Structure 1
Amino acid sequence: MPASVLTCPRILVAGLGGGSGKTIVSLGLARAFTEHGLSVQAFKKGPDYIDAKWLSLASRSDTTNLDPFLLSSDALRNLFWSRARGADLALLEGNRGLYDGKDVEGSCSSAELAKLLNCPVIVVADCTKVTRTMAAIILGLTAFDPLVDIRGVVLNRTAGCRHQNILRDSIEKYTDVKVLGILPKLAENPIPERHMGLISDAEHERDPFAAIAGCLRDNADLDACLAIARSAPAFHGELASLYPTASAGKSVRIGVARDAALWFYYQENFEALRHAGAELVEFSLLEDSAVPDVDAVYMGGGFPETLAQGLAANAAMRESVRGLVHAGMPFYAECGGLMYLSRELLYGGVCYPMSGVFPLTTKVFEKPQGHGYMSSVVSAPNPFYVGSTRLTGHEFHYSRCIDIENVSSFVFKVERGQGMAKGCDGVLFRNCLAGYTHMHALGNPSWAGNFAAAARVYRDARLAGHLCPDIRL
Structure 2
Amino acid sequence: MIPGLVVAGTHSGAGKTTVMLGILAALSRRGLAVQGFKVGPDFIDPSFYQALTDREGENLDSWMTGAGGVRRIYQTATGGADLAVIEGVMGLFDGASPVTDESSTAEIAKLLNLPVVLVVDARSMARSVAALVKGFTEFDPRLRFAGIILNRVGSAKHFELLTQALAATTAIPVLGYLPKEREFCLAERHLGLVPYYEDSQLAERLAGLAEWFEKTVAVDRLIAAFAQPSLDSPPDLPPVTPLTRRVRIGVARDRAFGFYYQENWRLLRRAGAELVPFSPLSDATLPVGLDGLYLGGGYPELFVAELAANQGLLGQIKELIARDKPVYAECGGLLYLARSLRVGEQSFPMLGVLDLEIELGARLAALGYIEVSAAADNILLVQGETARGHEFHYTRICGGAEQADAYRSARGERLGFRRGNLLASYVHLHFGSNPGMAERWVRIAAECQS
State how far apart, in whole Å, the 1-side matches of 2:32 and 2:109 are.
Answer: 22
1:43·1:92 contact (CA, 8 Å) conserved in 2? Answer: yes
State how far apart, in whole Å, the 2-side matches of 1:234 and 1:124 are.
Answer: 21
Query: What residue number does 1:173 align with?
Result: 168
- Aligned to 1:18, the other structure's residue is in SS state coil
Q: CA deviation at 1:241?
A: 4.3
2:112·2:229 contact (CA, 8 Å) conserved in 1? Answer: no
Change (3 A) 1:126 1:244: farther
Structure 1 residues 305-344: aligned runs within 5 Å: 305-344=301-340
Does 2:426 match 1:436? yes
Q: Deviations over 1:162-194 (max 9, x none)?
A: 322211110111112211111101356521111
Query: What residue number does 2:365 align with?
Result: 369
State how far apart, in whole Å, the 2-side matches of 1:32 and 1:187 are.
Answer: 17
- Aligned to 2:207, the other structure's residue is in SS state helix
Match of 1:10 among 4, 8, 18: 4
- Aligned to 2:391, the other structure's residue is in SS state strand
Structure 2: give runs of 5+ residues left out of the alignment: none
2:258·2:298 contact (CA, 8 Å) conserved in 1? Answer: yes
1:18·1:96 contact (CA, 8 Å) conserved in 2? Answer: yes
Query: What residue number does 1:449 align with?
Result: 439
Bigger shift: 69-78 or 335-344?
Answer: 69-78
Q: Deviations over 1:101-124 (max 9, x none)?
A: 111112111001001101000011
State how far apart, in whole Å, the 2-side matches of 1:203 and 1:124 are.
Answer: 27
1:99·1:111 contact (CA, 8 Å) conserved in 2? Answer: yes
- Aligned to 2:118, the other structure's residue is in SS state strand
Q: CA deviation at 1:314?
A: 0.6
Structure 1 residues 194-213: aligned runs within 5 Å: 194-206=189-201, 207=203, 208-213=205-210
State how far apart, in whole Å, the 2-side matches of 1:130 and 1:102 are.
Answer: 30
Change (3 A) 1:453 1:61: same
1:247·1:449 contact (CA, 8 Å) conserved in 2? Answer: no
Match of 2:22 among 22, 28, 49: 28
2:370·2:409 contact (CA, 8 Å) conserved in 1? Answer: yes
Does 2:48 match 1:54? yes
Query: What residue number does 1:218 align with?
Result: 215
Query: What residue number does 1:470 align with?
Result: none
- Aligned to 1:99, the other structure's residue is in SS state coil
State how far apart, in whole Å, the 1-side matches of 2:173 and 2:309 are.
Answer: 56
Q: CA deviation at 1:85?
A: 4.8
Structure 1 residues 59-98: aligned runs within 5 Å: 59-98=53-92
Q: CA deviation at 1:202?
A: 2.1
Q: Deviations over 1:367-403 (max 9, x none)?
A: 2111111111111232321000111001111111112
Does 2:399 match 1:403? yes
State how far apart, in whole Å, the 1-side matches of 2:211 and 2:9 are.
Answer: 21
Match of 1:190 among 172, 185, 188: 185
| TM superposition score normalised by structure 2 | 0.95
Does 2:260 match 1:256? no
1:24·1:212 contact (CA, 8 Å) conserved in 2? Answer: no
State how far apart, in whole Å, the 2-side matches of 1:124 and 1:46 are.
Answer: 18
Query: What residue number does 1:134 align with?
Result: 129
State how far apart, in whole Å, the 1-side matches of 2:404 and 2:112 are.
Answer: 42
- Aligned to 1:47, the other structure's residue is in SS state coil
State how far apart, in whole Å, the 2-side matches of 1:186 and 1:350 are.
Answer: 40
Match of 1:41 among 23, 32, 35: 35
State how far apart, in whole Å, the 2-side matches of 1:454 and 1:323 are.
Answer: 18
1:268·1:441 contact (CA, 8 Å) conserved in 2? Answer: yes
Does 2:411 match 1:413? no
Q: Deviations over 1:288-331 (max 9, x none)?
A: 22333211111100000111111011112122222221221211
Q: How many residues align?
A: 446
Q: CA deviation at 1:448?
A: 1.0
| TM superposition score normalised by structure 1 | 0.90
Change (3 A) 1:243 1:350: farther
State how far apart, in whole Å, the 2-side matches of 1:236 and 1:454 are.
Answer: 35
1:17·1:98 contact (CA, 8 Å) conserved in 2? Answer: yes
1:384·1:454 contact (CA, 8 Å) conserved in 2? Answer: no
Structure 1: give runs of 5+ residues left out of the alignment: 1-6, 417-421, 463-473
Bigger shift: 241-250 or 173-182?
Answer: 241-250
State how far apart, in whole Å, the 2-side matches of 1:197 and 1:434 are.
Answer: 23
**Aligned AA for 2:356?**
L
State how far apart, in whole Å, the 2-side matches of 1:220 and 1:322 are.
Answer: 54
1:10·1:91 contact (CA, 8 Å) conserved in 2? Answer: yes
Does 2:224 match 1:227? yes
State how far apart, in whole Å, the 1-side matches of 2:447 and 2:76 are.
Answer: 33
State how far apart, in whole Å, the 1-side matches of 2:302 and 2:116 are.
Answer: 37
